[in-house]
Amino acid sequence: MFDVEICEPRRIVLIRFRGELAEADFTALDALGREKQGGPPYDVVFDMTAVEKIDVATDFVSKRGALPQAFTDRERIYVVQQADLKLLVRLYAAYQASRGWRAPVIVHTLDEALGRLDATAADFAPPPASGVL
């Protein structure tokens, strides 16, 4: 499961995963992204600190790593503390880099991620019903 928040002035999307992280979460995010194609680009922070269980196969990670990023030349930052999840994110980043795409950044805390983008948690709010995501 995940929640989406937006910092519109800085064009940042914050996706907070919680509970079980599953392949279906990424399928749902892909669907949201397809709905908003052609809009302005955003940096994206994937906060995985509240993930309690991982149900994502390495094969799924490798297939996703072969896909280009949605917003070219924008930051993708993964906040990951769990060692096993960090390995999966590093695998994904390696696949992205091997394709010649900008690899996502991996950090330990949300403050660290938001600091890279000159934002704070207080800058974010749920998207409006007709908003970005």
Q: What pLDDT does residue 82 have?
A: 96
Q: What is the mean pLDDT of residues 29-46?
A: 84
Q: Does residue 133 register a pLDDT over 60?
A: no
Give a yes or no: residue 128 inside a domain. no
Q: What pLDDT does residue 130 have?
A: 52
Give a yes or no: residue 53 inside a domain. yes
Q: Does residue 33 register a pLDDT over 90?
A: no
Under 8 Å between Cβ of 17 and 55: no
Give a yes or no: residue 84 inside a domain. yes
Residues 67-93: tens digit of each pLDDT: 888 888 899 999 999 999 999 999 999
Give a yes or no: residue 60 inside a domain. yes
Radius of gyration of the chain (CA): 14
Banded model confidence at residue 105, pLDDT cuts 50, 70, 90: very high
- In the chain, what is the straight-line distance between the N-terminal and C-terminal CA atoms, in Å? 15
Give a yes or no: residue 132 inside a domain. no
Give a yes or no: residue 25 inside a domain. yes
Strand order through the sheet with 76-79:
2-7, 12-22, 43-55, 76-79, 105-107
Under 8 Å between Cβ of 45 and 12: yes
User: Domain range spanning residue 73?
Assistant: 2-123
Give a yes or no: residue 131 inside a domain. no
Q: What is the mean pLDDT of residues 20-42?
A: 86
Number of domains making up the chain: 1
| Domain harbouring 112, CATH code | 3.30.750.24
Q: What pLDDT does residue 67 have?
A: 87
* CB-neighbour burial class of residue 113 (10 A; exposed 0-12, middle 13-18, buried 19+): buried
Give a yes or no: residue 32 inside a domain. yes
